[in-house]
Chains A and B, each alone.
Chain A
Amino acid sequence: MIILGKADQVMFESLRVTVTDAAAPVLDVLSRPLAALADLATRARRLVGVYQDNDRLVEENERLIGWQQAALKLASENAQLRDLLKLAPEPTATYLTARVIANSGGAYVRSLMVYAGSENGVSRGQAAVTGEGLIGRVSEVGSRAARILLVTDLNSRVPVVVQGSRQRALLAGDNSDRPCLRYLDSGAAIRIGDRIVTSGQGGVFPPGLPVGVVASLDGEAPRVEPYAELSRVEYLRIVDYGLADGLPKPIPVGARGGRRAERSADGQQSRR
């Protein structure tokens, strides 16, 4: 069964989606007490530091008002320049907020299950983000629930770019908390603290989604600390940029020729 699951991912994906859909309402109900407890703990922790937080936020608000003015000025300038260049407008994103009802519970898979599925407009390949940044992508969709493959998972590969130097790389998960940057130029000057954002290559994610910062340069490849705290995500936003069709489905076993080739990677009929 294990070997079959490894070999024929299509068959097990439909089984997995069915089981996930059936279990989603139960998991949703069962996860609520823990969520309420976690919420209570967060409130208690915030209560302790309410005065310091208030002082910090007042000071930060003053600073942000200045930035808001700058942003408004830049936005208007940007709109004028785009108009001058006749730049094609980027697709507008639509958001859907979903609650996390289960995690992968182990050291070998990094994924989350959310209580929103195709009925709510979720489809494969959509980006999953929190307020801090990208956390993963939708890898399986049922009618009521969907699985989010986190950027830290062994099978996750996200094309990214180092902000500032614009060096391209692939953010590869390895089941550790910090995914690594692969395929960087050998002479690339990269420093701890460099911001990593999506590059938009491959057409799955839009460019410019914040992912994390370079946290260490030891070993073979630089490691990236994601902005989002992946273990503490209670709600996440699934973002539809109209790009999700770019993600191919798993190719069925033996679909190299003959009749099975009719089921091509994107699910469309191939030419005879």
Chain B
Amino acid sequence: MKAIAAPARQSGDNPAARLLPIATTLLAMIISIQPAYIPGYASVAPAFTLMAVYHWTIYRPKLLPPLSLFLIGVTQDLLTGALPGVSALVMLLARTVVLRLRRHFINRSFPFVWTGFTMLTGGAMLLLWTVLCLLDRVVIDFRGTVFRAVLTVSVFPAASFMLGRTQRTLMSTG
């Protein structure tokens, strides 16, 4: 099974489609702070933004510049009441790591891409937990982080499918 996304193409997309990576990452941020009315959901809400960052950094890195990620991350922190800059830091580091390794993920099978995302999620969640523990000077319960990582990895195939379909529909013909 091949990953659903089209090969990376940087040119030829129409101007509206070029905003797609930023728009979907912003949408992912908004979805992640939506109240879901499910018991216990808020603390383990999947990191949808990380999925968008991973996908677009592999397939369209130039259309998701660091500045847009920084602004989306800071907005997320301001809206959620978290320390401003923490999400931005994690997203920018994730982008840097994926950008270095992206050639290994283009046109590879989905399980391979998924494995890559699993490792990225593990690293990102561990980093987030460590930073917040250091800043708050307490050891925060690690179980919430583990559940959130597992849920994020579990939801990734559906998110990746949707992002890939959107990308193919709106961007590949330009």
* B107 located at the interface, meaning its Cβ lies under 8 Å from any Cβ of chain A in the complex: no
As a 0/1 sequence over residues 51 to 66 of chain A, the CB contacts with chain B under 8 angstroms (1 = contact) are 0000000000000000
Selecting from A101-109, A119-127, A188-196, A255-263, the interface stretch reads A101-109
* A2 located at the interface, meaning its Cβ lies under 8 Å from any Cβ of chain B in the complex: yes
Evaluate contact between B84 and A5: CB separation under 8 angstroms: yes
Contacts of A12 on B, CB cut-off 8 Å?
78, 84
The residue from A105, A108, A139 contacting B33, defined by CB atoms under 8 A apart: A105
Given the complex of chains A and B, what is the CA–CA distance between A268 and B131 in angstroms? Answer: 35
Closest CB of chain B to A38's CB: distance in Å? 4
Evaluate contact between A34 and B84: CB separation under 8 angstroms: no
Chain A contact residue count (CB 8 A cutoff): 46
**Which A residues between 192 and 243 are near B, CB-CB below 8 angstroms?**
229-234
Q: Which residue of B lies closest to A16 (CB)?
A: B78
Contacts of A2 on B, CB cut-off 8 Å?
83-86, 89, 131, 135
Evaluate contact between B43 and A175: CB separation under 8 angstroms: yes
Evaluate contact between B42 and A104: CB separation under 8 angstroms: yes
Q: Mostly helix, strand, loop or mixed at chain B's interface?
A: helix
Selecting from B94-102, B113-121, B139-147, B154-162, the interface stretch reads B139-147
The residue from B35, B43, B135 contacting A112, defined by CB atoms under 8 A apart: B35
Contacts of B36 on A, CB cut-off 8 Å?
34, 38, 103, 231
Evaluate contact between A23 and B79: CB separation under 8 angstroms: yes
Q: Which residue of B lies closest to A18 (CB)?
A: B78
* A1 located at the interface, meaning its Cβ lies under 8 Å from any Cβ of chain B in the complex: yes
Closest CB of chain B to A180's CB: distance in Å? 12
Contacts of A107 on B, CB cut-off 8 Å?
43-44, 129, 140-141, 144-145, 147-148
Given the complex of chains A and B, what is the CA–CA distance between A139 and B80 in angstroms? Answer: 12
Known: A16-B84, A27-B30, A175-B43. A232 touches B38 (CB 8 A): yes
- Pull 28 A–B residue pairs with CB atoms less than 8 Å apart, ordered by A: A1-B88, A2-B84, A2-B135, A5-B85, A15-B84, A16-B78, A20-B78, A23-B75, A27-B34, A31-B34, A31-B35, A34-B34, A34-B37, A35-B37, A101-B35, A103-B33, A103-B80, A104-B42, A106-B80, A106-B82, A106-B148, A107-B141, A110-B42, A147-B81, A174-B141, A176-B144, A231-B37, A234-B37
Smallest CB-CB A-B distances: 5 pairs: A107-B144, A38-B37, A1-B85, A105-B33, A2-B85
